[in-house]
Structure 1
Amino acid sequence: MKHSVILNTLFLGFFIGFIVEMVFLQRVWRKKTTDAFKGVFNQEASDSAKVSHDSDMKNVGENDKSYVSGVYYSNWSPFPPRSHFPHDVNLERITHLYYSFFIIDQDTGECKSSDEWSDFQMDTYKDWYAKSYGLHDENRHHSHDAKEVLPMGCLGELFYLRKARHLSKLNITDGAEQFSTILSIGGWSNRQAFPVIVRDKNKMGAFIRSAVESMVKYGFDGIDIDWEFPRNDGIEPQAYCDLMSSLKEALSNLEKTIFGADSENHFLLTTAIPALVENLEFLPLSQVDEYVDYWNLMAYDFSGSWSSKTAYHSSLFASKNDQTTPCTDMGVRFLIDQAKVPSRKIVLGMPAYGRGFTRVKLHAYDEPVIGHNFKGVGGASEGEPGIWQYNQLPLNGTEEQFDADAVSAYSIDVQKRTLVVYDNTESMKRKAQYVMDNNLAGGFWWESCGDYQTDKSRSLIVTFTDVLPALDKKPSIFTRTEMANFYAAHYPSELLSQILK
């Protein structure tokens, strides 16, 4: 009995020692792994400043032969069924990524996140580790090391994608990380906030301050205002101008504080505007133009559930069968010819989605699809009645059709009496040529999750940029040492504090 107790005691001691040793070794291995990860990250971040601008598409910077290729990325994109993360965007072909949306608190005027989990807390690195390195689910623990170094959420990952050479792991050409991220504020669901704050001096001041602070704190290169839409009420048109003027002044003062009075470093200020002339003609566009870098012309949603007849929703020109529905060219011509907006500041907006009409009275595929009665709009995009993401088109069992005169694609299921109108790759070729012919700044898409992500032959972004001679690719303003120093001094414990050290 005594001998047995001694043996048990020795065995227990050995077992405890073994466990302690394993824990110790695990901690050592863990520290080495994390240190190695930090080393790789630091090397990648350092190399990003030395990146070559040469690729299959030459990136020549800002001149008359380079173009904007922008896309809006929504912070609801990571959630199923979209499951679309920042690293899924074709950043090789993007110059400006508009992050949507931050919103305005009507009670205080403060600019704030619309989804803190998606923006700041979600672990997006699990997904891109698996895609980048071909890891199986059980090996995704590598992202735990990322958590110790990298900022979380979509905003954290977007910053990392610009700062480090991770994109090369995806076989993407050098220069892909040279893109600007713009904080887009407002949107349709937050449209009631702007009329409130522009009528209250204190709320307006709170908005300007918090918008600029959010831009810096979360690593953006600029601000985009998406007010849908100022009304012709004798107050809001001028208030819109005053809002843009105040933002421009605040950004200019910040530039001087960080870089000095003579610096060419610049925070961007853009605004999303409708393409309908009736919503533009009463705005002081020539005044606002003094403050903005780009006008993002939302040339889509010309038709939908509100329409009396079926119509194209993003056509370049008017249809022969419908001379009443607005078209893209009408908005562009108004801005250039009447509002006198410089053409090289106009960015042509294009949809990565289609709009549908159901119970349409059609009898044959060769019958004109425009101008028919309908009852209902259908839809295949969750939570968006009447919407089909572009990557859900054409409709199953149908052949994609194209109206070459209006420049619009459509898909029609005669049996189900369903029609969907949208942009396709042929639309992109024509619209890219239109951008060049009219000396516009470039194009953008709403929104990134709708494009074909893997099939480049069907991708709107790839097809459009293939036509352009060069993209206006530039590194983020946060690659500047002055920005890192400013951030460390003013935001030592914020989202990007560790990655900027």
Structure 2
Amino acid sequence: MTIDDIDKYDIARALEEVSFMNSSRSSLRDDNQTGHRVVSGVYYTNWSPYNELGHFPRDINFANVTHVYYAFFHVDGKTGNLKSTDSWSDFQIPITTGEGHPNHPEGCLGELFILKLHQKFKVLMSIGGWSNRKEFTEAMQDIEKVQNLAKSCIEIMFRYGFDGIDFDWEYPRNNEYEPRNFVHLIENVRFGLDALEANIFNTPKRRFEITVATPGTEDNLQGIRFNRLIPLVDYWNVMTYDYYGEWSDRTGYHSNLYNPAFQDEYSGSDTTEEEYKEKDEVVKEHSLSASGIISILCNKYKVPRNKVVMGMASYGRGFTNVKTNVNSAAYIGKKYSGVGGSGPEKDGTWKYNELPLTGTEEEFDPMYGSAYCFDKETKTFIGYDNYQSIRMKGEYTWRSDLAGMFMWESAGDDYKYPNLSLLEIYAHEVHYKLKKDRSPFTEKSLIEFYLKRYPKNGFLTTYLKTILQNTE
């Protein structure tokens, strides 16, 4: 055990004691609430099993999770159809489920499907992502491709056992067709899912969910027609991270809850559109924070708070050769040269479970709500989420009546010391019960419908036949 391991062990033990002392308090708050339940989501990436990550769905503690967003399926820019980005990882990689079933589906999707049948959480198919931004945008310029995409979303979602769709288009531009076509896409998917549910369940209750990965900055919100989409979207997953990085002129925290320079200019209900425009330029510069963008979303764009899910990051972003006095605690707003990073790409990122850096001490900035560490030898500064920032964010979501929080992404969390897991900390800090709903695929009527649609060649056909036989 290294010195760093000893430090983390001490923190984990302390958190365990605090968690035990707070357990009765949390239970009382659960009982005293009016049925409000919150989201605790996590993105799982299909490249997680590879290389040094070696991370599989079974590594996640699903007691702390309500939603898994499986990233990514990509949009084909030429046709608008969806395509797997890694068929081996998605559908074929051998899995270990512990149930010894000879007919279980393979791949990470097969593992997630089996896990969710035994625990209460939903798995949504996330489409798009940063690397798919060009093709996604290409498809959204043609209404026929948009219609193809809507049909493809519903077909792929159902065939592979997802419980909904997460749209991650980075980002719709505010031009004559992209905002309109994004509305058209979501409308077609929502109406298609409603029709599918009516055929299966014959009830108006919605079971399949739609979520949107929402920009964390004001500029990138302009191309989204919230007034049209709010009734159709279940949750808005706000990407409240990547505020600073290798693209920035100066250092800064990338996942801070607050920005002391931000003034909530959008809280007044009587503010006119003209007044908003006058305030925009001033607010934009200082709203690089989770609380800042959420204020703008809820007050300016009128997104209901119970549909807003705030992001947390399981990685830090850093800067090297920071131009500062090593004996000073002032590390943000400084010039730098290079960004470093723990991976081969040296893109300025370190996984949360690699932080703080060896030989550094973890510090916390309560003004911004962010942890950080600083290496005096290399003058490397890294800002990131830790147990303190997640507790602060959990308290903020509770006080602000938000729908909950999600994490990008599961591979960076701490599995060696579970009490340091960001998901674990959030699940214990939250003052409401988690929104633990069973997958629609646990319902007999859906299984029967699936087998009628895919009697031989469905991804889940053989497995669901066995389940149905065992229930009869």
Q: TM-score range by the shorter chain?
A: 0.7 to 0.9
The partner residue of 2:400 within 438, 441, 446 is: 438
> Alignment RMSD, CA only?
2.1
The separation in 2 between residues aligned to 1:264 and 1:383, in whole angstroms, is: 46
Query: What is the aligned partner in structure 1 of residue 247 from structure 2?
Result: 306
What is the CA-CA distance between 1:89 and the residue it aligns to? 1.1
What is the CA-CA distance between 1:158 and the residue it aligns to? 0.5
Instruction: State yes or no: 1:416 paired with 2:383.
Output: no
Equivalent runs, 1:223-238 vs 2, <5 Å = 223-238=165-180
Query: What is the aligned partner in structure 2 of residue 167 from structure 1?
Result: none
Q: Deviations over 1:433-489 (max 9, x none)?
A: 000110000000000001001312211111111111310101101011111011101
Query: What is the aligned partner in structure 1 of residue 225 from structure 2?
Result: 284
Query: What is the aligned partner in structure 2 of residue 30 from structure 1?
Result: none
Query: What is the aligned partner in structure 1 of residue 237 from structure 2?
Result: 296
What is the CA-CA distance between 1:407 and the residue it aligns to? 0.3
The partner residue of 1:151 within 96, 105, 109 is: 105
> Does the 8 Å CA contact 2:214/2:236 hold for their aligned counterparts?
yes
Structure 2 residue matching 1:397: 3-state secondary structure: coil
> Does the 8 Å CA contact 1:362/1:414 hold for their aligned counterparts?
no
What is the CA-CA distance between 1:361 and the residue it aligns to? 1.9
Bigger Rg over Cα: 1
AA aligned to 2:44 is: Y
Instruction: State yes or no: 1:257 paired with 2:199.
Output: yes
Structure 1, unaligned runs of 5 or more: 1-55, 130-142, 165-176
Query: What is the aligned partner in structure 2 of residue 162 from structure 1?
Result: 116
Query: What is the aligned partner in structure 2 of residue 479 from structure 1?
Result: 442
Query: What is the aligned partner in structure 2 of residue 170 from structure 1?
Result: none
Structure 2 residue matching 1:296: 3-state secondary structure: strand
Instruction: State yes or no: 1:356 paired with 2:300.
Output: no
The separation in 1 between residues aligned to 2:83 and 2:223, in whole angstroms, is: 30
Structure 1 residue matching 2:198: 3-state secondary structure: helix
Query: What is the aligned partner in structure 2 of residue 100 from structure 1?
Result: 71
What is the CA-CA distance between 1:65 and the residue it aligns to? 2.8
Stretch moving more, 467-476 or 189-198? 189-198
What is the CA-CA distance between 1:303 and the residue it aligns to? 0.4
Q: Deviations over 1:300-359 (max 9, x none)?
A: 000001101001111111156997471111110011111111000000011110001011
> Does the 8 Å CA contact 2:38/2:403 hold for their aligned counterparts?
yes
Query: Residues 481 and 382 of structure 1: is their aligned pair in 2 closer, same or farther, counting only changes over 3 Å?
Result: farther
What is the CA-CA distance between 1:190 and the residue it aligns to? 0.5
The partner residue of 1:120 within 72, 91, 110 is: 91
The partner residue of 1:398 within 360, 375, 378 is: 360
Instruction: State yes or no: 1:330 paired with 2:292.
Output: yes
Relative to the length of structure 1, the TM-score reads: 0.79
What is the CA-CA distance between 1:383 and the residue it aligns to? 4.0
AA aligned to 1:290 is: P
> Does the 8 Å CA contact 2:147/2:185 hold for their aligned counterparts?
no
The separation in 2 between residues aligned to 1:281 and 1:163, in whole angstroms, is: 39
Instruction: State yes or no: 1:184 paired with 2:147.
Output: no
> Does the 8 Å CA contact 1:320/1:406 hold for their aligned counterparts?
no
Equivalent runs, 1:69-148 vs 2, <5 Å = 69-125=40-96, 146=101, 148=102
The separation in 1 between residues aligned to 2:253 and 2:150, in whole angstroms, is: 38
> Does the 8 Å CA contact 1:347/1:442 hold for their aligned counterparts?
yes
The separation in 2 between residues aligned to 1:490 and 1:237, in whole angstroms, is: 34
Query: What is the aligned partner in structure 2 of residue 23 from structure 1?
Result: none
The separation in 1 between residues aligned to 2:212 and 2:324, in whole angstroms, is: 40
Relative to the length of structure 2, the TM-score reads: 0.84
Query: What is the aligned partner in structure 2 of residue 45 from structure 1?
Result: none
Q: Deviations over 1:27-62 (max 9, x none)?
A: xxxxxxxxxxxxxxxxxxxxxxxxxxxxx97999x9
> Does the 8 Å CA contact 1:149/1:498 hold for their aligned counterparts?
yes
Q: Quote the sequence identity (%).
A: 40
The separation in 1 between residues aligned to 2:179 and 2:143, in whole angstroms, is: 16
The separation in 2 between residues aligned to 1:63 and 1:397, in whole angstroms, is: 47
The partner residue of 1:497 within 455, 461, 464 is: 461
Query: What is the aligned partner in structure 2 of residue 385 from structure 1?
Result: 347
Structure 2, unaligned runs of 5 or more: 1-25, 263-283, 466-472
The separation in 2 between residues aligned to 1:384 and 1:235, in whole angstroms, is: 37
The separation in 2 between residues aligned to 1:63 and 1:207, in whole angstroms, is: 39
Query: What is the aligned partner in structure 2 of residue 46 from structure 1?
Result: none
Structure 2 residue matching 1:69: 3-state secondary structure: strand
Q: Deviations over 1:252-291 (max 9, x none)?
A: 111111111x342421011001110121145311211111
What is the CA-CA distance between 1:193 and the residue it aligns to? 2.0
> Does the 8 Å CA contact 2:149/2:185 hold for their aligned counterparts?
no
AA aligned to 1:442 is: G
Equivalent pairs, count? 415
> Does the 8 Å CA contact 1:302/1:325 hold for their aligned counterparts?
no
Instruction: State yes or no: 1:211 paired with 2:175.
Output: no
Query: Residues 300 and 64 of structure 1: is their aligned pair in 2 closer, same or farther, counting only changes over 3 Å?
Result: farther
The separation in 2 between residues aligned to 1:233 and 1:337, in whole angstroms, is: 23
The separation in 1 between residues aligned to 2:75 and 2:27, in whole angstroms, is: 39
Q: Deviations over 1:70-92 (max 9, x none)?
A: 00000000112100000011211
What is the CA-CA distance between 1:390 and the residue it aligns to? 0.4
Stretch moving more, 228-237 or 277-286? 277-286
The separation in 2 between residues aligned to 1:281 and 1:195, in whole angstroms, is: 15
Structure 1 residue matching 2:250: 3-state secondary structure: coil
The separation in 2 between residues aligned to 1:240 and 1:289, in whole angstroms, is: 13
Query: What is the aligned partner in structure 1 of residue 280 from structure 2?
Result: none
AA aligned to 1:338 is: K
Query: What is the aligned partner in structure 1 of residue 213 from structure 2?
Result: 272
